[in-house]
A and B are shown apart, each in its own frame.
Chain A
Amino acid sequence: MSSTEQASAADVEAAAKQAREALDAHAHEIVQWHFHPSSGCPFWLEYAQKLKFDPLKEIRTFDDLKKFEPFQDEWLRGGPVRRWVPKGLADQPVYVFETGGTTGVPKSRIAMNDFRTDYELFSATLPEEYFPRGANWLMLGPSGPRRLRLAVEHLAQYRGGICFCIDLDPRWVIKLIKKGWMEHLEAYKQHCVDQAVTILGAGHDIKCMFTTPKMLEALALELEKQGTSIHDAGITGIFSGGTEFTPQWTRFATEELLEGTYMTPTYGNTLMGLACSKPVTAEENYKISYYAPQPRAVLEIVDFENSDQVVGYGETGRVKLTTLTKEFFVPGFLERDEGEREPPYIKYPWDGVSGVRPFHELAEATTVGVY
């Protein structure tokens, strides 16, 4: 057990208090930025006109953000996308990342450097033994107008490696599932896996990869069919993500697919960035607890009926996300996921979430594609 995990309850409490103070200060700073006429984006400046309070004066702590109504991700559909670009960053090159969009207009989020910052912070959590610096990477996950594609490539480059990418269009995957074209779905999955197998066998010294649980499973089974394995193909570290990341699946992957290759689950999306997990162990029954990159993003587990009220530790609620960066401000967005509230621990002295799964009221309508 590492020294950080041996921290006393008092240490954790002190760290949590400090983290909370930092969060309050950060929340204040970010609101000042987004609502000040010299630096804010057109969307929030216009929005502020309709508010019955002045965010510049009345938002001093994180809890003050409850004065805003919950963020509606529908606001992100359609243009002009520049209404989200803060004036203070108007001279920066702007990326747009999309989410949804299988049918209709996708939701768009602008970004300049956030994805790089988030993944550099994430990089610091990766064990060197399994994610060696200088190693090359394989990105076997959603590509196209998604942040993940660029973020993983940046992560590889930041760690001194080169990233090989496979094209994977999750909108097509969801369309195939909704149409019930399961043969096509299998064929598309195989098409992606075949490319991954080819790249892994092409002598590129790939040791690390990002992939989703479904693609990891498909890749492992294909390699096994060919008489090899993820481990034998040279992969030493995998980071993966998605709500299909259940303890049972993690156990199955660990016991039967990975042969010692390290895998770290993550939870993230275009709005938040990347929440890291506490190390997942057999001793803890492969329980997966995620912690947001606070203070840049905050995860709360809130009452299903009252989104201003966090539930008790260990209790179930809906995941509420707040994003607080100079590029993007999301004051309390109710995710399409639910889970159990986890207490702070010394490495991440703030609330986490475990057992993440689709929000039960929406689950039937949710089509899980490549994740």
Chain B
Amino acid sequence: MPTPSHGQARTTNHHYVWETTVLNIPALRWGKPYESMEVDDVVHFITGEPIAKVSQANGGLLQRDMRKAAQARAALRDIPCDDLIERVKKAGELYLNATLPLGDGTQSPDEFAHMQSASTGLPEHMCKANMQKNFFVLSHMDQMLEALTRGLDLNILSRGFGVEDRGVVVSYQAQSPAVGLVLPSNSPGVHTLWLPVIPMQIGLVLKPGPQEPWTPYRMTAAFTEAGIPPEAISIYPGGADVGAAVLASCERSMIFGGTPTVERYRGDPRVQAHGPGFSKILLGDDIVDDWEQYIDLMADSIYLNSGRGCINCSGIWASRHTKEIAAALAERLGPVPVLPPDDPNAGLAAFTIPGVAPAVWQQIEAGMKEDGVTDMTSQYGPRLEEKERCAYLRPVIAHCESPDNALAKAEYMFPFATVVQCPQDKMLAAIGPTLVCSAITEDESFQRELTDATHIDRLNVGPIPTIKLDWLQPHEGNIVEFLFRARAYQIPEERLAQAR
């Protein structure tokens, strides 16, 4: 039976046209397709036309399936970790380059980028760049796992215990046969976080974001084609009840959301909550007079990937020259125009959910009215651009005379940053939780304080953009430590040899 050909792009100078047949995408219950009676239309953010109809699961269905989660891990444990790593690498190639099955049709890499752009508002070239990131992680999986496990023999994860070369018995116990993921719609970059799960022989329970079903399904198709057992992966698109069921049913889950979500799950060992990053660049007193040298680094940290990531910089902190820095950043970023999503120069993503961009802009405008806050980008034209079915926010740079200004700690899903005037000796007490901190300073005393600051997750010491990630290092907690618990495991001497 011929598979429906579902996409053909046609781009003109003024119009962006995509002719498409709507794909029907089922839920996946441990690899088995399940067509629900409830479907969600994923629509193109410009035309409003449906791109796919995605079957919606219900919470109870997921909870029932979780009874079989042990089978997912069992199927993966039948395959040695090294073999799984090779298959995952192959999956990376397929994900990047192959036309793969999707629902009742197929999807080429270009179609993937187009569909992801069409539903999330992210420009297509950024979707393609995100594909490269996922590919990089998959193709370097052996190095990543070696780094994250600090060189542990992965068979020890498989078996639950073993003897290291130094003759010490170690045991790592899987805390859940499958890990649940409640994924967002607005940030395709987050998927790199769950890619190492399968080669550690842990199953996946994915709840895609409503506008971004593409990566979970494409990655699953690539995994399956590469020989990962289908019964190791479930995908449950659905509403809030499905997200709640993921968190209730999986002993280990990751959820992506706003600050309230992060607060809600703080201290819950079963849940790793990923929220806003509030990533920052701190300019030390020793280098701040040379701030012009770092303006590219600052602008890139704010603007690249449309400022959507939690690793994008939302605050530049310095003790002096802050107004000049803010003016220079505004001059650089303020004129950035709204361009169609297929334009290779498009730097801004659309807000595709009605009402969000105006609400964000309203909040920012309110913040700008506070004493000590200056809108540095106002001279570069209106920031809010509303279209028929979506809206854009052009880059905003604000200057804050004090860390006490409310905007000083704000973060939004577009290129937005405040330049905050703050004495260096007050900075660490004032910055608040910070996912990525790029501290540009040679001051060893300041560096020591930064290293010890527990509210900073990823620390870059030196002129490193916040968005430059070393994939071989942990991100918001080491996933190996999240999924496996190190514990004591004693066995008689004669069995030690077998465990080597």
- Residues of chain A touching chain B, judged by Cβ–Cβ distance below 8 Å, are 180, 182, 186, 217, 220-221, 224-225, 246-249, 251-253, 256-257, 285-286
Contact = CB atoms under 8 A, between A and B. Distances in A.
Given A180-B264, A221-B63, A246 B38 contact: yes
B37 A256 contact: no
Contacts of B38: 246-248
A249 B58 contact: yes
Contact of B244 (A182, A217, A249): A182
B60 A221 contact: yes
Given A182-B244, A246-B38, A248-B36, 12 more contacts: A180-B260, A217-B63, A220-B60, A221-B63, A224-B67, A246-B37, A247-B37, A248-B37, A251-B37, A252-B58, A256-B64, A286-B37
B98 interface: no
B64 A248 contact: no
Interface in B43-71: 56, 58-61, 63-64, 67
B37 A285 contact: yes
Contacts of A182: 244, 247-248, 264
B300 to A, nearest CB: 37
Given A224-B67, A285-B37, A286-B37, A248 B58 contact: yes
Nearest to A251: B37
Nearest to A257: B60
Nearest to B59: A217
* Interface SS of chain A: helix
Contacts of A248: 36-38, 56, 58
Interface in B252-295: 260, 264
20 contacts: A180-B260, A182-B247, A182-B248, A182-B264, A220-B60, A221-B63, A221-B64, A224-B64, A247-B37, A248-B36, A248-B37, A248-B38, A248-B56, A249-B58, A249-B60, A253-B60, A256-B61, A256-B64, A257-B64, A286-B37
Nearest to B60: A217
Interface residues of B, number: 16
A289 to B, nearest CB: 15
Closest 8 A-B residue pairs measured CB to CB? A217-B60, A248-B37, A248-B38, A247-B37, A252-B61, A248-B36, A221-B63, A249-B58
A186 B63 CA distance: 13
Contacts of A225: 67
A282 B61 CA distance: 18
Contacts of A246: 37-38
A248 B40 CA distance: 13
Nearest to A186: B248
A306 B437 CA distance: 57
Q: Counting chain A CB atoms within 10 Å of each CB, which of B38, B61, B63, B67 scores highest?
A: B61
B42 to A, nearest CB: 18
B353 to A, nearest CB: 13
Contacts of A256: 61, 64
B56 to A, nearest CB: 7
A257 B65 CA distance: 12
A182 to B, nearest CB: 7
Contacts of B244: 182
